[in-house]
Structure 1
Amino acid sequence: MSRCSRSGGSPALVWRNWAIAWKSKIIEVPSKEEQEKIANFLTAIDKKIEVIAQQIELTKQFKKGLLQKMFV
């Protein structure tokens, strides 16, 4: 049973109620300084992910080399 049927409203009515509630929300935007902190944090995480991805690739190559030596 869908969410709309359980709530007793038509999908259009549910959508309208949601839209009205959404319009009344205030979206707060962080200050420029806070945005820069967030951006720097995400950049640092991206760099760490890249390093780990490189380590994984090197490990796969090492494993492949070991398997080739083992079965030669």
Structure 2
Amino acid sequence: MPDWHGLPPSHLAYLIRRYTHVGGAVLDLDAHPATIAATAYLRRVPARMVTVATTRACGSCRPPLNAGRAVWRVGPVRVST
């Protein structure tokens, strides 16, 4: 497993475990494989940030009601390789 910005996966998992609870959301901004793996292993819920620009780029999505603010959704994070 690759390091996350110089942080080994074991230290990343420790930080996630220390600052979140089981079932809690872990916001991952760069969809890094180490973060996704540690989140799943620790039984946390991966979350991604969705912004107005991202929402408008999605043809089947409509802009959120609070346009101009960042919103987040809890759910699986898809990693394209």
Q: TM-score, normalised on structure 2?
A: 0.22
Rg (Cα) greater in structure: 1
Structure ranking higher in helix proportion: 1
Structure ranking higher in strand proportion: 2
